[in-house]
Structure 1
């Protein structure tokens, strides 16, 4: 026959485990909610940091362009297209090295511009614009003179 003390002890243990389970369950739910909110906040911080970097790059570019072109306010903004550069070079019938001589850069630079691996600087865009207006004869004359 079991001892009353052991029965009482077993009952107290069972009730205690039941209470602990209910308390732990509420803690688990709270922990899950906290983890979800932390993950959402991290995503938001990452997004804001990316936007800040983009904005910083944009302002750095505009500041650099302002410093470069302080007296050139009348100069139009130049756009660059790699495919148009390649088609113009082919239209003139020039190699990349010859086209590079007209612009004032190397042939390798012309290849990188055409492939989109690099972009010309503002001063180089001006040189490209001046070469863009040349005909095949004019380009050949400038290459012979150089």
Structure 2
């Protein structure tokens, strides 16, 4: 995450903590004045408006959640291509520079060229050629080879 996204996320978390604290304080003040609410209810006044959370705390909570979401979205890295050939082409063109994070470190799951194993494997084995070479080696070995005796 860059410092901009971290600061936006931190600011949103600070707003969210303040909204939670304000909601808690409102509920504590409301519970301590329960006796006064019961006396108001006996007078015939609607108590549903007294028990609800104030509008400014609700707005602050929603704004804080959106600010935290914005900070998290700003800090996410770019999406990778879904197709292997597109991803391998990016690796071939850009190399490690294309997979650097925002802070300049190499991405943790960068494995290099995924097709390198296919490019470095040995070719097909010609069994007939190897059998012919082995037969020639055996024929030449009978006349020239001496087995050392112990």
TM-score for both structures, normalised by structure 2: 0.28
Higher RCO, 1 vs 2 (CA within 8 Å, ≥6 residues apart): 2
Q: Which structure would you say has the larger Rg? A: 2
